Amino acid sequence: MTTTEQPSDRPPGWDWRHEGSCRGTDTDMFFSPDDREQRTARARRERRAKQICADCPVLSECRTHALTAAEHYGIWGGMSETERARLGRRHIHRDTTSR
């Protein structure tokens, strides 16, 4: 890309992740540093990450990716792994009860 190109000049299919509000931030905010993270520290970290996601221009693309790719870890699209798992279980439950 030349220095005069704007994001709208990029070809279709350009990677949406380059437009994320999280780009350039410390990934530790979005992913648990280890399995021993205390509940209050985790809640605080996740809250900060979700604040960044709240006004993200590619929030829906990020969330769709996380759900489609079954991302098991981290905050994606403003959702934690627990929230994504719950959503997946509800979706599966709905599919099996509608038959």
Residue set of the binding site: 22, 53, 56, 62
Find out whether 49 and 29 touch, Cβ atoms under 8 Å. Answer: yes
Q: How many Å apart are CA 67 and CA 45, to the nearest integer? A: 21
DSSP β-bridge partners for residue 76: 79
> Residues annotated in the binding site for [4Fe-4S] cluster, as ranges?
22, 53, 56, 62
Residues in a beta bridge with 41? none
